[in-house]
């Protein structure tokens, strides 16, 4: 009887073989072969991987920006989750709905909303101009200029197209991904442990360091992966807020498929590298997380 019921999974297993496993195999095959003119597969090669050497800048930039964005998300996300978890149940409910609501709006629109704020003639520059910040900057910068007579006063701060704008876009889009898992761990935390630590003479800092933070680590780790993975692989955020100056790994892949630099083999190789990175991240996080849990159990 039992075996008969497990037959229900057979169609989906076939589906997974065709639309999950085989596509990944094809991607790996593409990554290790040369392009042939007639569309069939070419010979085995490692050129796709060696030619990535010329994109080292893109690799380091992707990692740098994604790591900064993840760190900023953690620095904002941890305290806010902690504060929300300490409030009353009604407040918590409303606050979490408010945190999640932006996630329901397409990330392109959320990113777009920053374009009109960060533009050269955008809202922030208008505010800076009206409070005199730009004049102030000019009056200071002219003293430091090598040739004060040739100093060109600026009329706006360049924010679009900078790496800061891209990091801002990542933080804005993925902050909820950091808050949700951390909050859900902290809110379930057994409060008697905190009380016990206090009774045993620990001060607030010590309780946080030795009890609350280690116990919330699984949430922190899943928050880090949930922010880092989309940040390192994004291409729309860097395109919209980086204005083409801030090419990331995602942009590089996308260019190989749709852009003028059409080369699916290189694109597949980069995508494969990204997949390996994600798997390694997940593995490290899981490993690390389990170890911590065991330590807590002991």
What residues numbered 156-185 form the site for other proteins, per CB under 8 A? 172, 175
Nearest-approach distance from CB 298 to other proteins, in angstroms: 26
Report if residue 42 touches other proteins, rule: CB under 8 A: no
Report if residue 200 touches other proteins, rule: CB under 8 A: no
Q: Using CB under 8 A, pick the residue from 137, 235, 292, 293 that binds other proteins.
A: 235
- Select 189 or 275, whichever has its Cβ closest to other proteins: 275
Cα 74 to Cα 171: distance, rounded to the nearest angstrom: 10
DSSP state, 202? -
Report if residue 5 touches other proteins, rule: CB under 8 A: yes
Residue 190 to residues 81, 125, 209, 215, 218: CA-CA distances in angstroms? 16, 48, 16, 9, 15
Start-to-end CA span in the chain (Å): 42
Task: Transcribe 40-106 into DSSP letters.
Answer: SEEEE-SHHHHGGGGGHHHHHHHHHHHHHHHHHHHHHHHHHHHHHHHS-HHHHHHHHHHHHGGGGS-
Please give the structure tokens belonging to residue 3. 């075996």
Nearest-approach distance from CB 180 to other proteins, in angstroms: 13
The count of chain residues that interact with other proteins, using the rule CB under 8 A, is: 80
Of 23-31, 53-61, 132-140, 187-195, the window that binds other proteins (rule: CB under 8 A) is 23-31
Report if residue 105 touches other proteins, rule: CB under 8 A: yes
- Select 82 or 151, whichever has its Cβ closest to other proteins: 82
- CB of 250 within 8 A of CB of 234? yes
Of 114-122, 134-142, 194-202, 290-298, the window that binds other proteins (rule: CB under 8 A) is 114-122
Q: Using CB under 8 A, pick the residue from 43, 57, 109, 205 that binds other proteins.
A: 109
């Amino acid at each position: 009887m039992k075996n008969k019921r497990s037959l229900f999974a057979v169609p989906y297993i076939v589906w997974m073989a065709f639309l999950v496993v085989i596509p990944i195999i094809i991607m790996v095959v593409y990554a290790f072969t040369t392009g042939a003119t007639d569309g069939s597969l070419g010979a085995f090669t490692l050129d796709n991987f060696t030619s990535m050497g010329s994109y080292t800048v893109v690799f380091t930039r992707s990692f740098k920006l994604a790591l900064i964005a993840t760190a900023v998300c953690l620095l904002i996300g941890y305290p806010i989750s902690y504060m929300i978890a300490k409030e009353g149940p009604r407040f918590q409910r409303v606050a979490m709905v408010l945190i999640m609501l932006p996630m329901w709006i397409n990330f392109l629109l959320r990113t777009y909303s920053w374009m009109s704020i960060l533009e050269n003639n955008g809202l922030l520059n208008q505010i800076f101009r009206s409070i005199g910040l730009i004049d102030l900057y000019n009056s200071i910068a002219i003293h430091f200029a090598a040739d004060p007579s040739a100093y060109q006063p600026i009329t706006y701060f360049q924010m679009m197209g900078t790496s800061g704008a891209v990091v801002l876009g990542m933080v804005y889009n993925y902050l909820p991904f950091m808050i949700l898992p951390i909050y859900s761990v902290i809110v379930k935390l057994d409060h008697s442990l905190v009380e016990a630590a206090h009774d045993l003479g620990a001060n607030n800092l010590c309780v946080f360091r030795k009890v609350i933070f280690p116990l919330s680590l699984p949430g922190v780790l899943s928050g880090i992966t949930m922010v880092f993975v989309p940040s390192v692989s994004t291409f729309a955020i860097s395109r919209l807020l980086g204005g083409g100056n801030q090419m990331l790994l995602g942009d590089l892949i996308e260019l190989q498929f749709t852009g003028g630099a059409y080369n699916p083999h290189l694109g597949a190789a980069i995508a494969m590298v990204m997949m390996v990175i994600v798997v390694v991240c997940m593995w490290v996080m899981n490993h690390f997380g389990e170890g911590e849990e065991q330590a807590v159990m002991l």
